Amino acid sequence: MPYAEFNIFEDDELYCVGIVVDLGEVLKPCPFCGGDPVINEIPPHTHVIATFMPDCKGECFIECKCSCAITAENKKKAIEKWNRRVKNE
Ligand SMILES: [Zn+2]
């Protein structure tokens, strides 16, 4: 997982080490099979996907090898939706 580390000093002494995690890019494992999901971004004006995912309204979908998938209008929302779904189940 991508992250950055930084030291926090107080009165010239090391107080603690902070870690910044880029949550926007971190996908949780699949809730059904534990596998790693894959992000697929569909360029605008591409409608081929509608033939096998008729309910796709957006330009990004995240799928897993166990055939579960979610869709959203962009990558950020798709990641949020995927991670929220994992948490709810
Ligand atoms: Zn899965």
The tens-digit pLDDT sequence of the chain (89 residues) is: 566 778 888 888 888 887 776 655 688 999 899 999 998 887 665 555 445 555 545 578 899 999 889 888 888 889 989 999 866 55
Domain-located, residue 36: yes
Cα(73) to ligand 1 centroid in Å equals 21
Cα(30) to ligand 1 centroid in Å equals 5
How much is the pLDDT for 82?
Answer: 92
Domain-located, residue 8: no
Query: Pairing between strand 3-10 and 13-21?
Result: antiparallel
Instruction: Give the range of the structural domain holding residue 31, as residue numbers without chain letter.
Output: 27-88
Cα(40) to ligand 1 centroid in Å equals 15
Domain-located, residue 10: no
Rounded distance, CA 16 to CA 18, Å? 6
Domain-located, residue 49: yes
Domain-located, residue 16: no
Domain-located, residue 3: no
Q: How far is CA 55 from CA 28, 33, 50, 52, in A?
A: 23, 23, 7, 9
Domain-located, residue 33: yes
How much is the pLDDT for 37?
Answer: 93
Domain-located, residue 59: yes
Cα(61) to ligand 1 centroid in Å equals 14
For the chain, how many structural domains are there in total?
1
